[in-house]
Chain A
């Protein structure tokens, strides 16, 4: 952080992060780094069966172990309500089974917790958990969503009488009529297989209940929601609960959840009167932190001979897993809202059916529904181009919503705030010449290397809010989704900003400081952001869905504006000027046209707190709160290109180049944007090539550690080429849109399209992820059969 005075705007500059000094020296404090006096450790005894009745739990052996304090089961702990599911879509019935922190009577997936062992030694509780004898009476198991929908399938929840959780549709126009008008219709079964969030920090919880008050530390993305549900489930008045999200080591949606362990530890601490810590192992993380994706979509896309897309129909069967967790059933719907992508398609329909299986629940994982939707659209679009004999970029251009038509209402009734899809594509082509790539491909082929280029032009919907649209009367989430912020100026002019958003790597402390610094005429190094503590700041809804800047950042901007307005009044009063003539300039609140006449923020704060000579009627002090609930979502967009080299002898794919042009409105800090884009792309690279949460037919997890669930590492990915365009959003005053998920949303289609493009000369026209070498090799061997590889 430089200390130069604010001669210019801080917003837009690639400042290095305020967060980093503590993190690069090992001084960050994550949940497992916190130790409380008298703290117990918890280890969970989990189901080894995918579906079974619990016959008995014998803890006698475990209780004999030195240091073991208690073993508790589902029968021992009472809760006011079950674990939450937040979606009640108007007019749609959702079958939500009971879901408790510890299983009651029945387990429904491998890893379902049966008992908790408490003791005062971290190693001893693990030993004792192995001593707990759980007798399970196996029930029939179903893991395949197609099988689960068949007549006579085993039922995950007998009492529901069906494996279908819900059916939900969103459409506009008439897709059958639209498809009938088409000269070419592409039909694909697009599989978005199950993946894990897999943040490098597994989850962790410490509950400390004493004297009627609860302090709970959790590696969560949503401390305020957690506080609410602790109150509801434990029957505690909310003011007695404080939730702290300390340093959080990544989330990717997997920590946007109300987990049984969080509630359980609070209940156990209350019961035993001692603080309790639980740290998830990686095997647990892969088994029982919610998964993402797991949809099979039957997609039809039609176009006329001249390349006008007439209709798109996606019929999605989505695997819910065994329970409906916080947002489980609504995830596929998030994709449905942008099922027409960045194209003007007159007839669009998405039909979703949610299905229970004896697997861990799915829920939001980076992109949450929008990567799946983009994948469907962009894969089918490039196939459509191939069948039309048209350049895939030309087909896109013929269907882009024109830049001059924003805000644009889509067939689905969604209002896209702003966009310039031609602009991002044009900029992409400044960086990469498809003709040159194709020429290079010719030269490589004789060496057995097939080079291909694939594209993805996307838009997505984020900045979740607005409450009136996503809330109970709209989409049906049982909450508002605004943000609030408090900006406090100390006597010395130092600024503390409190936010209800909850970062876990995004760099909020830096970006938000830049916004506030400009508003108040100070340098970002004197602006500190406080987050992740329900007791020290205003209420908020957390960090997920690329919402933090567009909603939380705007709330901060508004609070800072209020502070600036009060400051202007104080300065005007002191300097005998009109408040409207005071502006922030040269590190001061200065009189317009007389820049030497002004007061620094410290001087203003001095006046505000000493309060000896304030304008009549003005309250002392210098801090303001703002709540912000936007009128619309924001819709980032962009154009990505991937170049891949396929070793056709082995099926192994190497990413030769990857170019991304994204538009998330005016940059607050370009460094942070690039970081999000890089990470977002690699998240998709993992899904496309390596990662797959697999279960066998008995519901046993086959990808339960980092050997069998392989994240890409540095040598598996390329260097990226990134660029931006800046089309402001009219939704908020900053003009900004989210960027946390865009890379992931865009990239899988670009990569898979590139592989298909490479192999088209060999007759491959269809590939489903994950593109393990054998699947690619097999697709080449069976080219022409058009089955997308094994499903």
Chain B
């Protein structure tokens, strides 16, 4: 067996130090080592997004990241999304708008949506749909999911910023003077 590696990371605000196999996927670290089973596995190919969590504040697919790659990082899972005793506005909106049926894709879907709303507080319907392209749902036809995300955007006045295009606002990204087009 390959030598285990010590990793130390913060999950839902709590610090964890563990010895893990290098090949251990983040999703299995969360589910099997920490017992956080809200993050699901739905495919083998980084396609379905059921495993979506936030790593250092960004949505990622935890089935495609090794736990060792997260050493020193901070992870938020669906279990850590709610603010104190209140549901996160996206959770609230999924409930209110019947944005889920079997619930299996739901944690990943909510984490992806919450990630979008952090970057783009007032997205268009098209932006919502594109931002959820990496999350598959077989039950809802997406209609009520999209409705829920739009509703959450309207409801969450907590952290309003001016609209920005998706994929904007990552690196500090001063525009370079003279590039290769626009």
Contact = CB atoms under 8 A, between A and B. Distances in A.
A and B touch in the complex (CB under 8 A): yes
Interface of A: 16-17, 19-30, 32-33, 66, 122-123, 198-202, 247-250, 252, 281-283, 504-507, 671-672, 674-675, 677-683, 705-707, 711, 713-715, 717, 719-720, 743
Contacts of B96: 16
B142 A717 contact: yes
23 contacts: A16-B96, A20-B100, A23-B103, A24-B94, A24-B106, A25-B78, A25-B87, A25-B91, A30-B40, A32-B40, A200-B42, A201-B104, A202-B42, A249-B40, A250-B138, A674-B144, A679-B140, A683-B138, A705-B43, A713-B133, A714-B129, A714-B146, A715-B129
A200 B50 contact: yes
Nearest to A251: B102
B44 interface: yes
Contacts of A199: 102, 104, 138
Given A250-B139, A682-B142, A714 B21 contact: no
B56 interface: no
Interface in B89-117: 91, 94-96, 98, 100-107, 110
Contact of A678 (B21, B102, B140): B140
B132 to A, nearest CB: 4
A19 B98 CA distance: 10
B130 interface: yes
B39 interface: yes
B1 interface: yes
B135 interface: yes
Contact of B107 (A21, A26, A705): A26
Contact residues of B: prevailing secondary structure: loop
Contacts of B73: none
Interface of B: 1, 21, 23-24, 28, 31-32, 36-45, 47-48, 50, 77-79, 81-82, 87, 91, 94-96, 98, 100-107, 110, 125-126, 128-130, 132-146
The 9 A-B pairs at the shortest CB distance, nearest first, are namely A26-B38, A249-B104, A505-B102, A23-B103, A678-B141, A505-B101, A706-B47, A26-B78, A682-B141
Contact of B104 (A17, A30, A683): A30
Contact of B37 (A32, A679, A705): A32
A713 B132 contact: yes
Of B43, B47, B140, B144, most A-chain CB atoms within 10 Å: B43
Contacts of A713: 132-136, 142
Given A199-B138, A705-B45, A717-B141, 10 more contacts: A24-B106, A29-B37, A200-B48, A200-B102, A200-B104, A249-B40, A505-B139, A679-B140, A705-B43, A714-B145
Contacts of A32: 31, 37, 40-41
Contacts of A198: 138
Contacts of B23: 123
A200 B140 CA distance: 12
A711 B47 CA distance: 10
Contact of B136 (A29, A30, A711): A711
A635 to B, nearest CB: 23
B143 A720 contact: yes
B38 A714 contact: no
Contacts of B36: 26
Nearest to B127: A715
A549 to B, nearest CB: 15
A286 to B, nearest CB: 10
A707 B87 CA distance: 34
B53 to A, nearest CB: 10
Contact of B125 (A122, A281, A719): A719
A708 B130 CA distance: 20
Contacts of B77: 26
B106 A23 contact: yes
A375 B129 CA distance: 29
Contacts of B141: 675, 677-683, 717, 720, 743
A321 to B, nearest CB: 22
A25 B77 CA distance: 9
Contact of B42 (A282, A507, A717): A282
A3 to B, nearest CB: 16
B172 to A, nearest CB: 29
A680 B139 CA distance: 8
A505 B95 contact: no
B54 to A, nearest CB: 13
Contacts of B41: 32
Contacts of B37: 26, 29-30, 32-33
